[in-house]
Structure 1
Amino acid sequence: MFVFTAISDFVKRRLVQPVLNLLWQGMTPRSLAATVAAGTVVGVIPAIGVTTLLGTLVAARFRLNIAATVLVSYLVQPLQLLLAIPFIRLGISLFSLGELRLSLAEMQTMFNADWVEALNKLWQANLAGVAAWALLATPVGVLLYLVLIPLFKWLLPKPKLAPVPDVPSEQITQII
């Protein structure tokens, strides 16, 4: 029980709290929603290794927090692995590339027969998956943005208004 509590405290202190601090630092609910939506959409692209560059470019283009956008894209990368095959299958069916078998045994057979042709087919399939992702990225990103705005309005701490000090009327007339 003590070990679980210690690990939980460590994860909260070293992972969760720094992430929340990064995401909440001076961001409005709209900018945070845009950052999370952009990072999520970029993070699930079915092309391994391009999320950092693409996330940076998207965040810079839309004037979002670059570090937070890239962080969100990293946090959703398990979804990237889960959605890669569905994106590729969708791209293959959208662009009528024929039937490509994606099981390990069938890919081994393709590589044993002609590895250059196998690489070509897998390259085309992955490109079709990226195209399918590109078709869905904007609508999903906008929908995610619209869903996250009320959530972040509710979650983010409300800014505290500083009390206005009483200024004597003589000082006001001197200033004017």
Structure 2
Amino acid sequence: MSLSGITVSFFRRRLLNPVANLLKQGMTPPKLAATIALGTVVGVVPALGVSTMICTALAARFRLNIAATILISYLIHPLQLLLIIPFARMGIFMFGLQELRFSLEEMIEMFRSDWLAALNLLWQANLAAVSAWALLAIPIGIVLYLLVLPILIRFMPKKVQA
């Protein structure tokens, strides 16, 4: 088997089949749209390591499929890494905090000169990033839900919608 065949097989096994199984579990389009929106919004929270706990708690609260919500969250993790710095910059701007330089050399120099102050500054920037995310999470989740719902209604099998 060629390398491309192995890659296609891997993605089919690890990505496409689990998503297809979600569509076969009897989830209605509104529930699946809510699951996708929740998993996506929580998946980009700019605090590493907490998205699984938040997804689990919110999916249980709203009676959504917990495994599907976490799967969507994990699939969106690369976007989380890309959005950490923009969320931090937005939070720093919103709260008027000290501007934080994000180059590696400047971060290393901050830790060399005063590591406690550097940790405090990074903690404040992360808290500001989570606050910026929290302000945007509900509106973006609603928009995402409203965008995904018509697509799911159109393309999901009719017997699942009943």
**Under TM normalisation by the shorter chain, which class is it?**
over 0.9
Give the number of aligned pairs: 160
- Tell me the amino acid that sits aligned with residue 122 of structure 1: L
Residue ranges of structure 2 left out of the alignment (5+ in a row) = none
| 8 Å CA contact retained: 1:39, 1:71 | yes
1:43 is aligned to 43
* Length-normalised TM-score, structure 2: 0.93
1:29–1:153 Cα contact (<8 Å) kept: yes
Structure 1 gap segments, 5+ residues each? 161-176
Per the TM alignment, residue 75 of structure 1 is displaced from its structure 2 partner at its CA by 0.5
Sequence identity (%): 61
Say if 2:128 is the partner of 1:128: yes
Q: Distance in 2 between matches of 1:109 and 1:10?
A: 42
Does the CA-based 8 Å contact 2:23-2:156 persist in structure 1? no
Per-residue CA deviations over 1:121-163 (Å, capped at 9, x if unaligned) read: 0000000000000000000000000000001111211118xxx
Q: CA deviation at 1:3?
A: 4.0
**Stretch moving more, 5-14 or 42-51:** 5-14
What is the alpha-carbon root mean square deviation over aligned residues?
A: 1.6
Query: Given that residues 24 and 156 in structure 1 are in contact (C-alpha distance below 8 angstroms), is that contact kept between their aligned partners in structure 2?
Result: no
Give the Cα–Cα distance (whole angstroms) in 2 for the partners of residues 14 and 95 of structure 1.
41
Structure 1 stretches of at least 4 aligned residues deviating more than 6 Å after TM superposition? none
What TM-score do you get using the length of structure 1 for normalisation? 0.86
SS at match of 2:159: coil
Larger-Rg structure: 1
More helix by share: 2
Q: Say if 2:62 is the partner of 1:62.
A: yes
Q: Provide the secondary structure at the position in 2 that maps to 1:63.
A: coil
Q: Distance in 1 between matches of 2:90 and 2:81?
A: 15
| 1:99–1:13 Cα change, 3 Å | closer
